[in-house]
């Protein structure tokens, strides 16, 4: 699944009317949800010249037989719900039939590695619905190849079945789907759905809901048409016959070829239709249109995040802030010892892997765009898509296509950002001006700027964006400083007096942010390698008990050393790691309150002012601060029943400095990030008399919209 990106890839491809080059499955499936079972017949046509003996995997309860081939167990599967089989065909035969059936029932479970991940399952058939992928073992899966298929599904009356590709027949209890282009795997989703659809320029837009909601369906149908049009202009023709939104019976966020499987709560969140939804649509170009060569790293999540999540924020004028949040997540969750190169990223399984595989990769494409220019960048992506559609592609293939389009050798760039772990750290050392009286009519000011890289290890080759604020000018003077060594100096001749220098003011470089650039945020506590959770001994019994339950659950998170203490068991807060403080009765609350004042916020006996008053007796509150250099967070709720819901929600608010909630569902009332008073990568220019003038940064030039 393209969340995803588990790709064990599989089988096959053959198409009616085309030369058969890989196996083709013709599947007849009968679903029996009450018994959690299916009964299947699969006629498999192999390309001419295929080996007589092949191996495939199948769910261990399905017990395959064949009337025209020899089937034997083979062993050697790492997944305990699968079995491996050997099939031997008679001489002269290039096809065979498998008959099988049995139970597939694995209820969804939470991934213990990641507190904020959705529940997942290798596959399940229930009265609520069936969710089956290649990993489920519901059809015979051969190794390391692709497939084409035709799928007939019989199911209970009132159900609908969805797979990738095109639906060529449908009735009350039957559906037939087929896909003639090479596929990694076959999906089968079925449930008692209500279907909504319209056709948009030859592409079927579909919505499958578990309960009727015409207004909701129309919002998604309209969004489907809007985003398909945008990405076809940007990249190239949509590769499938339809795109469908499918409502799942538990909370998920999966993207499959030509459809997405989203949970009931997810699809009703007002922001999803213009955030996560276009991300899943775009995966049909990157990941499900051009496939990923996972052996060399997953590039598709970063490219999809850049052209969906980032692009939509950029269109709203929030591109720089979005990039800052990406860099903050990397700084908060990825320490030097937990970093890894992009070549090792396959799929997200933690905040750390997301910060690298999504965040660093997204910034990689942003830096490429900045270097090559928008038109060259778009042309390269269009060429990449056209040349690798329905083929596997690697970072090396991307490098080749981008180099070819730009006429530049990008091998050193990819080696630095893809094959190496880590990130540069920057310091703006000085900015000083000299006035040349002999050049009064021309550029009479000589500005000297010194920058250094402070990270351990070798220097990065960087194009550093610089903005210079000039006396009497509203717009900043912008330029790029080339840096190849740990120290670099740039001299600029300017006609107006320079007053201020800003280094990377719009967060265009992938780098490790200086701590002074990062406001206190929950991510710094969730991402800490060492964590102390301090519980309030004097809280009411019900609150004490629930605080302890939350602390013990968070203590189980891997890759972190977590200690739980009652507030009367310690004398002082630690100077390293991070601290969670629970409860308004916590005896260290005063220390937290003092630190919070640095953010311009006052926590009082009654509550806290966050663009409005939020009261301790009514609201669940979460606040962050730096106590010295130690990231700290404080949470409190007036009712113990609020705390389990709050604990589930908080990982989704990791980028925020504060949040307030109310009601039994813990509805979010406000969330935000503390302001940064002064960036350490901004300096007032030292004038010839030794003085400086503190001025705000001049206006930066507007940037073009990549999707136009």
- Tally of CA atoms within 13 A in the half-sphere of 503 that contains its CB: 32
* Closest by CA position to 8, among listed 145, 164, 176: 145
What is the per-residue pLDDT for 250?
A: 94
Q: CB within 8 A of 607, min separation 6: which ones? A: 613, 614, 615, 616, 617, 619, 621
SS3 category, 365: helix
CA-CA distance, 182 to 542, in Å (whole number)?
Answer: 57
* Closest by CA position to 264, among listed 245, 281, 285: 245
What is the per-residue pLDDT for 20?
A: 61
- Tally of CA atoms within 13 A in the half-sphere of 397 that contains its CB: 22
pTM for this prediction: 0.87
H helices of 161-269, where? 214-234, 264-268
Can you name the residues that pair with 466 across neighbouring β-strands? Answer: 479, 503
What pairing do the DSSP bridges indicate for beta strands 119-120 and 70-73?
unpaired
Provide the 8-state DSSP code for 685.
P
What is the per-residue pLDDT for 438?
A: 60
What is the per-residue pLDDT for 425?
A: 97
* Closest by CA position to 319, among listed 309, 328, 329: 309
* CA distance readout (Å), 477 to 189, 192, 314: 55, 61, 22
pLDDT digits (tens, 9 = 90+) for 465-492: 999 999 999 999 999 999 999 999 999 9
Please, is 271 exposed, middle or buried when counting C-beta atoms within 10 Å of its C-beta (0-12, 13-18, 19+)? exposed
* Cβ pair 669, 661 in contact under 8 A: yes
Can you name the residues that pair with 41 across neighbouring β-strands? Answer: 28, 99
Query: What is the number of other CB atoms lying within 10 angstroms of the CB of residue 571?
Result: 5
pLDDT digits (tens, 9 = 90+) for 50-94: 899 999 999 999 999 999 999 999 988 888 999 999 999 999 899
Provide the 8-state DSSP code for 82.
E
Q: CB within 8 A of 629, min separation 6: which ones? A: 515, 575
Q: CB within 8 A of 569, min separation 6: which ones? A: none
Domains of the chain (ranges, CATH numbers): 24-192 (2.60.40.3650), 291-419 (1.10.390.10), 426-513+680-684 (2.60.40), 522-672 (3.30.379)
pLDDT means per 10 residues in the chain (708 residues)? 34 38 93 98 93 94 96 90 96 94 93 60 97 97 89 97 97 96 96 95 96 97 97 97 97 95 94 94 98 96 98 95 94 88 94 95 98 97 98 98 97 98 97 75 82 96 98 97 97 95 97 90 90 96 95 85 95 92 93 88 82 83 92 93 92 92 91 85 95 94 89
What is the per-residue pLDDT for 613?
A: 79
Provide the 8-state DSSP code for 703.
-
Per-residue b or e along 465-481, where b marks 16 or more CB atoms closer than 10 Å to that residue's CB? bbbbbbeeeeebbeeeb
Provide the 8-state DSSP code for 699.
B
């Amino acid at each position: 699944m393209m969340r995803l990106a588990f790709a064990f890839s599989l089988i096959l491809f053959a198409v009616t009317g085309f030369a058969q080059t890989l196996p083709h499955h013709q599947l007849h499936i009968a679903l029996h949800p009450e018994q959690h079972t299916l009964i299947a017949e699969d006629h498999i046509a192999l390309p001419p010249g295929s080996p007589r003996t092949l191996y495939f995997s199948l769910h261990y309860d399905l017990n395959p037989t064949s009337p025209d081939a020899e089937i034997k167990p083979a062993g050697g599967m790492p997944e305990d719900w699968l079995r491996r089989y050997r099939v031997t065909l008679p001489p002269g035969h290039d096809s065979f039939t498998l008959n099988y059936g049995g139970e597939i029932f694995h209820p969804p479970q939470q991934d213990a590695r990641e507190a904020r991940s959705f529940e997942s399952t290798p596959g399940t058939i229930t009265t609520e619905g069936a969710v089956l992928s290649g990993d489920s073992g519901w059809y015979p899966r051969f190794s390391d190849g692709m497939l084409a298929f035709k799928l007939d599904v019989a199911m209970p009356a009132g159900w609908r079945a969805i797979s990738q590709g095109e639906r060529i027949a449908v009735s009350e209890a039957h559906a037939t789907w087929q896909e003639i282009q090479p596929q990694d795997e076959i999906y089968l989703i079925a449930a008692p759905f209500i279907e909504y659809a319209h056709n948009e320029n030859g592409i079927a837009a579909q919505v499958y809901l578990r309960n009727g909601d015409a207004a909701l369906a129309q919002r998604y149908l309209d969004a489907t048409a809007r985003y398909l049009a945008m990405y076809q202009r940007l990249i190239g023709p949509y590769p499938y016959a339809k795109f469908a939104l499918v409502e799942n019976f538990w909370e998920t966020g999966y993207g499959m070829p030509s459809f997405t499987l989203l949970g009931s709560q997810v699809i009703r969140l007002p922001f999803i239709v213009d955030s996560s939804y276009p991300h899943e649509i775009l995966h049909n170009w990157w990941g499900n249109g051009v496939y990923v060569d996972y052996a060399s790293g997953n590039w598709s999540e970063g490219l999809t995040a850049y052209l969906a999540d980032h692009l939509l924020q950029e269109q709203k004028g929030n591109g720089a802030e979005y990039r800052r949040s990406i860099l903050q997540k990397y700084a908060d969750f990825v320490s030097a010892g937990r970093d890894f190169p992009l070549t090792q990223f396959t799929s997200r399984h933690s905040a750390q892997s997301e910060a690298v595989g999504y965040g660093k990769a997204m910034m990689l494409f942003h830096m490429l765009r900045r270097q090559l220019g928008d038109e060259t960048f778009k042309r390269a992506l269009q060429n990449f898509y056209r040349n690798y559609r329905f083929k596997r592609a690697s970072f090396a293939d991307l490098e080749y296509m981008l180099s070819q389009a730009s006429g530049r050798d990008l091998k050193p760039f990819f080696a630095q950002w893809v094959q190496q772990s880590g990130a540069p750290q920057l310091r703006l050392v000085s900015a000083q001006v000299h006035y040349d009286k002999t050049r009064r009519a021309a550029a009479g000011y000589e500005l000297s700027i010194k920058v250094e890289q402070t990270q351990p290890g070798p220097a990065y080759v960087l194009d550093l964006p610089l903005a210079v604020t000039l006396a009497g000018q509203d717009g900043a003077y912008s330029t790029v400083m080339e840096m190849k060594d740990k120290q670099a100096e740039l001299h600029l001749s300017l006609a107006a007096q320079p007053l201020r220098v800003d280094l990377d003011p719009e967060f265009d470089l992938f780098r490790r942010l200086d701590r002074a650039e990062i406001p206190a945020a929950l991510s710094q506590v969730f991402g800490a390698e060492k964590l102390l959770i301090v519980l309030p001994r004097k809280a009411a019994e019900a609150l004490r008990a629930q605080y302890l339950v939350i602390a013990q659950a968070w203590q189980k998170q891997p890759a972190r050393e977590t200690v739980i203490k009652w507030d009367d068991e310690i004398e002082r807060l630690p100077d390293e790691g991070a601290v969670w403080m629970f409860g308004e009765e916590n005896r260290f609350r005063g220390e937290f309150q003092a630190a919070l004042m640095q953010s311009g916020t006052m926590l009082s006996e009654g509550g806290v002012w966050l663009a409005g008053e939020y009261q301790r007796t009514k609201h669940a509150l979460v606040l962050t601060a730096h106590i010295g250099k130690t990231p700290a967070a404080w949470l409190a709720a007036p009712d113990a029943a609020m705390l389990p819901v709050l604990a589930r929600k908080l990982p989704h608010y990791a980028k925020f400095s504060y949040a307030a909630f109310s009601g039994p569902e813990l509805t979010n009332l406000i969330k935000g990030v503390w302001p940064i008073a002064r960036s350490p990568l901004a300096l007032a220019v030292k004038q010839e008399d030794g003085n400086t003038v503190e001025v705000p940064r001049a206006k930066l030039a507007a940037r073009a919209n990549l999707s136009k």
